[in-house]
Amino acid sequence: MRISRLLILSIFLYLIVLWGLFAYNGGNWLVNFSSVVMMTIVSIIFILILIIYPDKHPMLLLFIIITFMYFNLRILALIMEPERLYDQFTPASADDMNMALIYLCLGIIFSVAGLFVGNRIFPLRRTTLIDNDSERNYLFSQPLVFISGVLLLAEINVIYTYMVMGLSRHGIDVMNMPTMMKVIYTLTDTDIFLMFFLVVVLERWSHLSPKIKMLSMFAIIGYVLMRVIISSKAGIYYPVLFWLFYKLSRERDFKVNVKKITMIMLPLFILAVLSFNVAKQLRQNWMDTIDQEITFESIYENLGEKDRFSYLDVLTPLHRLQGIDPLINIINEKGINVDKYINLTNEIKSFMNLVLPGKPFRVPLTSQSYVIVYGSMDESLYLDYGVYTTYIFTMWGLYYALFGAFGGLLGMFFFMLTVTAMYNVFANWNSKYRIFLMFLCIYAAYWNFISFGFDFFMDVVCRTLLQGSLFIMLLHIVSAVKRRRSVLLLKKVVR
């Protein structure tokens, strides 16, 4: 079954669950009948696009998947437990929710229109599908995957060491890192390294020996474990997400074995729930540890001191997919001094703080500005004390806050036009590097869809390009060494 067909079936199933939950629980102060109708309209728009549009562009599929995850699924959770799960600092009502959903619909229409225009201006040739091994064999081989696995494990160790040893009461503040640590952070981002690592492994998977496959799986499992240990709540999420990006990049509307994917995803969901709650408790315990050395013993002793696990904790991973929550605040303009903190000038200054040594400008991250503007938090907590709490805006919320209602819609239109055109240009380019470039476009689009701010978006793109260039350079060096050894061995045989 194609992923587009699976999406259609999933949305139909979602509509049944949505109306069933609403009929069982009824409306509440945040979600009413109109809210469910609006979300039904969003779902129908997705179904119509998937049925009518013949060319299932990877960017379109990604857009629908991410929007469905961050908005549609969130409504289900808010129907069940709005008091526990909605924590956006300011009071909200069902009318506020409905205004946000109206803007969500408009943003979807403008975004899809931008995608169609971009695909028309720079059409994606059907012949650009990578369906042979010529490009794969040019660059990748088993020794390269082996080295990638070793480097990934080494990088996990580096990141784990400096995060744990550098852990403060308030967590990690990237902008206040020492210069050398910031350089290490820029060059050894685990998520970016995992991304390129998975591309190489998936490109050569059918040609790998069992030992190399085991090493690769061990590296990925090690990544997940280390993410949980350092209190990250996205340990399993990123490998699955990167696999999706790869399949979209290489195969577009790829085939899915429903039975097989269900058998894989169900255990992963259970592990995600468990790892999410373990990471949450680790983060709470670590945040409460003041001027104490963090050890595995202290972590173990502190486990369970916080809130006990309940059946509602199954919903906590969905709590991170809260795309509609910030949109409620932003669309209904519940913030204070929005223009002072959320503007393009501050975005650029914050980006410079992220990439330059020291902290040249006294501005918070855009994702921190959300808490200052809509949560009435003191900016000194972020500027002077190194608190590192961040909130997502989503593309809808950020563009509205920066450009206004209509300007935000135009911004979404032109972003989708641009990223679609770039993807098509890279896909049509007959280059051995195009799988990386296509993947990068999808990766960048994802971060813009969920959006922690333009500063974070630009930082991710720059670090990905830099680290990706180093990664490809390493592959070339190892390939050259391997070819040199092969030539020397051949000369010895001839002699």
Q: For 384-416, what is each residue's pLDDT tens digit?
A: 655 667 788 999 999 999 999 999 999 999 999
On whether both 451 and 383 belong to a single domain, the answer is yes
Return the pLDDT at 307.
47
On whether both 315 and 463 belong to a single domain, the answer is yes
pLDDT tens by residue, the chain, 495 residues: 889 999 999 999 999 999 999 999 989 999 999 999 999 999 999 999 999 887 789 999 999 999 999 999 999 989 988 887 787 778 899 999 999 999 999 999 999 999 999 999 999 875 545 544 555 554 555 566 666 666 666 666 655 555 554 444 334 455 555 666 666 666 667 778 788 888 888 887 877 778 878 888 888 887 777 776 665 666 678 888 899 999 998 888 888 887 777 776 677 666 666 655 555 555 555 444 434 444 444 544 554 444 444 545 555 556 667 889 999 999 998 888 888 999 999 999 999 988 887 778 888 888 888 888 988 777 877 676 556 677 889 999 999 999 999 999 999 999 999 999 999 999 988 877 788 889 999 999 999 999 999 999 998 898 888 888 887 777 777 767 777 776 677 666 666
Cβ(377)–Cβ(85) under 8 Å? no
Task: In whole angstroms, give the CA distance from residue 201 to residue 217.
Answer: 10
Return the pLDDT at 161.
56
On whether both 156 and 267 belong to a single domain, the answer is yes
Return the pLDDT at 198.
85
Exposed/middle/buried for residue 8 (C-beta within 10 Å: 0-12, 13-18, 19+): middle
Q: What angle do CA 308, 309, 312 make, to 5 degrees?
A: 125
On whether both 10 and 27 belong to a single domain, the answer is yes
Q: Exposure string (b/e) for 157-180, b if CB count within 10 Å is 16 or more?
A: eebbebbbeebbeebbbbbbbeee
* Total number of domains constituting the chain: 2
Cβ(400)–Cβ(408) under 8 Å? yes
On whether both 143 and 243 belong to a single domain, the answer is yes
On whether both 72 and 164 belong to a single domain, the answer is no
Choosing from 75, 93, 126, the residue where a domain stops is: 126
Choosing from 67, 95, 126, the residue where a domain stops is: 126
Return the pLDDT at 289.
44
On whether both 115 and 160 belong to a single domain, the answer is no
Return the pLDDT at 178.
62
On whether both 48 and 165 belong to a single domain, the answer is no
Residues 6 or more apart whose CB falls under 8 angstroms from that of 40 comprise 15, 18, 19
On whether both 190 and 297 belong to a single domain, the answer is yes
Give SS3 for 123: coil
Choosing from 79, 110, 126, the residue where a domain stops is: 126
Range of the structural domain that residue 301 is part of: 127-488+490-494
On whether both 9 and 51 belong to a single domain, the answer is yes
Beta bridge partners of 2: 255
Return the pLDDT at 167.
44
263-313 pLDDT per residue, tens: 766 776 666 666 555 555 555 554 444 344 444 445 445 544 444 445 455
Q: What is the pTM of this model?
A: 0.85
On whether both 96 and 145 belong to a single domain, the answer is no
Q: Exposure string (b/e) for 60-75, b if CB count within 10 Å is 16 or more?
A: bbbbbbbbbbbbbbbb
Return the pLDDT at 125.
76
Where residue 394 falls (left for φ over 0; alpha for ψ -120 to 50; beta otherwise) is left
Return the pLDDT at 490.
67
Task: In whole angstroms, give the CA distance from residue 61 to residue 47.
Answer: 11
On whether both 226 and 356 belong to a single domain, the answer is yes
Radius of gyration of the chain (CA): 23
Residues 6 or more apart whose CB falls under 8 angstroms from that of 51 comprise 8
